[in-house]
Amino acid sequence: MINFKAIEKCVKEAGQIVLAADLENASVEKKTGDANFCTEYDVKVQKFLIDELSKILPEASFFGEEETNNNIKDLSREYTFYIDPIDGTTNFMFGYNHSSISVGLARNGKMMAGFVYNPYVDEMYKAVRNEGAFVNDKPLKMENKAVSEGIIAFGCARYNESKIDVLFSTVKELFLKSLSIRSGGSAAIDISRIAKGANVIYIELKLQPYDYAAASVILEEAGGVITRIGGGEISLTEPCSILAGTKKAHEEVMKIAKEKGYNSEF
């Protein structure tokens, strides 16, 4: 029996490291590409999570965003934790107070549990496969809303500028058809928020498995859909595009993106 409560507790504790961060004196490293940063806290949170999660599930491997010396990545193992220690690093660096700790657990290549914690508002989105999704302890079941009935969220990264015109022209059309648009800066939160009805769609051209792994279970358990923009299955081994939403909105956006020039090479 996996101790999901213990995993949740450790994700929450990681949130305390984020809240206590001394941003003015934090060291920041620039990673490959434009505006792609890693602060000392991204590393500190990931190290903490891997140390603690290893105690809960010693046989697990880790697919974490940062380079840490305890990050054992071996996707052939039965269990793998997908870790984004701070999803929303740019928000974090600039004091936006809107970032999350995202931890997903896969078994034999299938996501089985997800935890996305926003420590600034003490909001824990969580789900275990076939056991429903929750925000804190409130069950999440969303209405099957159309694009015209809700808010559209999207993400884009400065370090991933190729094909940006297709994204923006799709987002423009969605803006005109929906109630409004947002780009929150933490894909894990934006996808999880669909589960509680705050967004009807999340779209981004390229994300890494640790960005969406945890949120994918939360969304699916609440009745939503997550695929690549073209409709293919999301990847747990390499980056891919993401289209997450209510069933209705997801179908509408797939059609719009296709008309705007989105194709499977994106």
Binding site for Ca ion (CB under 5 A): 65, 84, 86-87, 89, 211
Candidate residues 80, 170, 186, 192; the one interacting with ligand IPD per rule CB under 6 A:
186
With CB cut-offs between 5 and 8 Å by kind, which of ligand IPD, Ca ion, none does residue 46 bind?
Answer: none
Applying CB under 6 A, what is the total number of residues that bind ligand IPD? 14
225 binds ligand IPD per the rule CB under 6 A = no
66 binds ligand IPD per the rule CB under 6 A = no
220 binds ligand IPD per the rule CB under 6 A = no
Q: Which stretch in 14-22, 68-76, 85-93, 173-181 sits in contact with ligand IPD by CB under 6 A?
A: 85-93
The CA distance from 198 to 52, in Å, is 32
- Of 83 and 111, CB closest to ligand IPD: 83
Task: Say if CB 145 and CB 192 are below 8 A apart.
Answer: no
Task: Say if CB 43 and CB 74 are below 8 A apart.
Answer: no
With CB cut-offs between 5 and 8 Å by kind, which of ligand IPD, Ca ion, none does residue 185 bind?
Answer: ligand IPD
Query: Nearest approach, Cβ of 157 to Ca ion (angstroms)?
Result: 9
Query: Nearest approach, Cβ of 76 to Ca ion (angstroms)?
Result: 24
- Of 33 and 139, CB closest to ligand IPD: 33
Q: Which stretch in 12-20, 45-53, 166-174, 182-190 sits in contact with ligand IPD by CB under 6 A?
A: 182-190
103 binds ligand IPD per the rule CB under 6 A = no
Residue with tokens 């969303």: 142
Strands 151-154 and 201-207: parallel
Cα 103–201–134 angle (5° rounding)?
45
Candidate residues 112, 142, 157, 244; the one interacting with ligand IPD per rule CB under 6 A:
157
Cα 224–176–162 angle (5° rounding)?
75
Candidate residues 89, 170, 178, 241; the one interacting with ligand IPD per rule CB under 6 A:
89
For 221, the token pair is 């358990």
Candidate residues 64, 185, 209, 224; the one interacting with ligand IPD per rule CB under 6 A:
185
3-state secondary structure 60-117: CEEEECCCCCCCCCCCCCCEEEEEEEEECHHHHHCCCCCCEEEEEEEECCEEEEEEEE
Count CB atoms within 10 A of the CB of residue 260.
16
Candidate residues 45, 66, 80, 84; the one interacting with ligand IPD per rule CB under 6 A:
84
Task: Say if CB 149 and CB 22 are below 8 A apart.
Answer: no
Task: Say if CB 185 and CB 153 are below 8 A apart.
Answer: no
Binding site for ligand IPD (CB under 6 A): 84, 87-90, 155-157, 185-187, 204, 207, 211
